[in-house]
Amino acid sequence: MANEMGKVRNYKNLKIKEKVGRILRSKTTKIVAVALIVLLALSLASFGLYSVSYAKKSYLNIRLGNTNLGGKSRSEITSILSTKSAEFLNEPIILEYQSSETPKEYQIAAKDIGLNYDLEKTAGKIMDVGRGKGMFGNAWEQLKSIFVIKKMPAEYNVNSDAIAKLVAEIATEIDQPEKDYSIYYIGDGGFGLSEERASGNRIDQDEIVAGIIGQITSYQHRKLSFNSRTYSPQITKENANKRLIQANLILAEGELVLKFRDQNYTLDVDTMAGMVSSRAKGDDLELYLLSDKVDRQVEAIALAIDSEPQNAKLAVSDGKVSVFETSKEGRKLDREQTKIDIENALLARAAEQKGEVDTKTVALKVTVTNPEINSADVSKYGLNELVASGSTNFTKSPANRIHNITVGAAALNGVLIKPGEEFSTLGALGKIDASTGYLPELVIKEDKTTPEFGGGLCQVSTTLFRAALNSGMEITARQNHKYRVSYYEPPIGMDATIYDPAPDFKFKNNYSSYILIQSSVVGKKITFDFYGTKDSRAVEIGTPVAYDYVDPGPPVEIPSDTLQPGERKQLEKAHQGASAKFHYKISREGSVLQERDFVSKYVPWPEKWLVGPPIPPVEPPAAEPAPVETPPTG
């Protein structure tokens, strides 16, 4: 019985111990859990505090080269970058060739390669670290920034071609290319094989360029050392002989004929031999064509083929329109395709499998452009009758003005306007200077009259304006002169000024037929005739009415040191100011095509004189001194 009681006590003790153990373990777990939660909360709070405190700064450990830009505001970053970039741009990039003899230095200045830095863009990319990548992306980048250094490159602009060219010039000075088997033309339709072989040295241009870019992106000046490497001949004699045989096959087929329609252009054996060359490719020789030699032949062919389309030139005789100069199609050789075709034809001769390439003849690819006015289609333009005319008189014009009027009228003679097309006077005249035959003459410019090339062309535009009005064209752009000009009156208010590039005189061909412009200058009268097909339109042009006359002010005197004292030279005559208006209406079969008032306002224009300095006053002659009397003697 005692034994049984002992067992019960032991069992109870064991249970108590287990219970106590469970309680202790539970408390430990809770403590650990709480500690972890607290630690996590502190970490998150610290990270949140870090994120918030750097909201307007760059995050930690961001560097550009050796410069730490972490924890800086955007303005601070820009300021630091400005200083660093200025320091870098003021110093040359130094390259040092480590030769077996004395090292040689080369310097590249920032201005030589067009280098400049985009400070705002660089600062923006630094500030973007840890931002703009979503919640988790931002958190990850921000967390990394605490422990890991992030290198950022500078944003810059540079002329890459200039860098490559400078490095290539250094290579030209240093490189001693290896000599290997090569083919050369020996004449009489055959190639030979050069067997002179020797090792050579070359620098790695790509590696040097990469080193220069590395310094640019990091604002770090350091001497960039480089060396040359030895290259030995690699081509085997067997491969060289194979290519020699193939090169001779190119010439063995004889001349290459390039054809366009009935025209043939021939490349003879000597010409083709001058195009063919060889270069090393591993242990083999590669045949290729020298691009400059091919270009030269293609340009010679293009010179013979290329031409601009030429419109037929039309003339009017006895009221009938006829062709006096036939049209010509335009032609343009496709230069790039021609080079490819020549290369394919010649190299196919050397290939074992020629395929479908024609190795004897090349069909030239030429783009043909038809002229806008084709002499074979004159009847379709509807140039059946005189539609309307306009004339003006330029009596008392000086010689240069008459010359320019004649040149301008001739430039517009034969112009053909499509139905619905807007005609531009300046566009049709083209370039207005000495190269197109014009002489300097007075034009109205701003507030003065000054000599310029083409002075007098407003007589041309004014005459066109009147012909366009008489034919019932839709006037789309017209401006009167600044002041009244005697050449265009009477009537007042029917002039149209032009001056390159503006103002321009424009009208729209609102006929269903083409309109042919024919010009003539007879004596002191210029006329434009419009030929086409009349329709049933009615044209109403009101009589111009002048009003609001304003007398010019007193003469304006402009002092000039170029004139003699008291001399006067008239620059401009006086012109009375006024306004003028006339009504214009075009209608057809009850429909109004255009109706408007043309209003012109002319400013008063006083006389203008150049005057020399005043005549100096004439000083009276100096009085002669009174004679001195001699006292009598004796």
619: three-class secondary structure by DSSP: coil
Q: Provide the pLDDT for residue 5.
A: 62
Within 269-334, residue ranges assigned H as helices are 269-275, 291-305
- Residues 426, 501: contact at Cβ < 8 Å? yes
Prediction pTM value: 0.52
Q: What is the pLDDT of residues 239-251, one digit of tens each?
A: 999 999 999 999 9
Query: For 39-48, 96-105, 527-536, 618-627, which range has the lowest pLDDT when averaged over its residues?
Result: 39-48
Within 175-276, residue ranges assigned H as helices are 205-218, 237-252, 269-275
Percent of the chain with pLDDT over 90: 56
- Could you count the other beta carbons within 10 Å of the beta carbon of residue 308? 11
- Residue for token digits 């009221």? 319
Report which of residues 444 and 376 the model is more confident about: 376
Q: What is the pLDDT of residues 584-617, one digit of tens each?
A: 999 999 899 999 999 999 999 898 888 888 888 8
Q: Provide the pLDDT for residue 628.
A: 61
Predicted confidence (pLDDT) at residue 446 exceeds the cutoff of 60: no
SS3 content of the chain, % helix, strand, coil (to 5): 35, 30, 35
Q: What is the pLDDT of residues 285-327, one digit of tens each?
A: 999 999 999 999 999 999 999 999 988 878 777 777 777 778 8
What average pLDDT is seen over the chain? Answer: 87
251: three-class secondary structure by DSSP: helix
Q: Provide the pLDDT for residue 39.
A: 66
Phi, psi of 309 (to 5 degrees): -65, 145
Q: What is the pLDDT of residues 25-83, one digit of tens each?
A: 667 777 777 767 766 666 556 556 777 778 888 999 899 988 999 889 999 999 999 99
Residue 485: which of 607, 605, 584 has the closest Cα? 605
- Residues 130, 141: contact at Cβ < 8 Å? yes
Tokens matching residue 84? 């660093």
Q: What is the pLDDT of residues 2-17, one digit of tens each?
A: 566 666 666 666 767 6
Q: What is the largest CA-CA distance in the chain?
A: 203
Residue 219: which of 408, 37, 90 has the closest Cα? 90
Please tell me what DSSP assigns to residue 543. P
For 521-527, the CB contacts below 8 A with 24+ separation are 521/405, 521/406, 521/409, 524/393, 524/394, 524/395, 524/397, 524/402, 525/391, 525/392, 525/393, 525/394, 526/391, 526/392, 526/394, 526/405, 526/409, 526/459, 526/460, 526/463, 527/389, 527/390, 527/391, 527/463
- Could you count the other beta carbons within 10 Å of the beta carbon of residue 181? 23
Residue-wise over 116-135: b if at least 16 C-beta within 10 A, else e?
ebebeebbebbbebbeeeee
Q: Provide the pLDDT for residue 443.
A: 56
- Quick one: how far is CA 353 from the chain centroid? 46
Tokens matching residue 248? 């001779």
Tokens matching residue 329? 């199609």
Predicted confidence (pLDDT) at residue 24 exceeds the cutoff of 70: no
CA angle 476, 583, 465 (to 5 degrees): 45
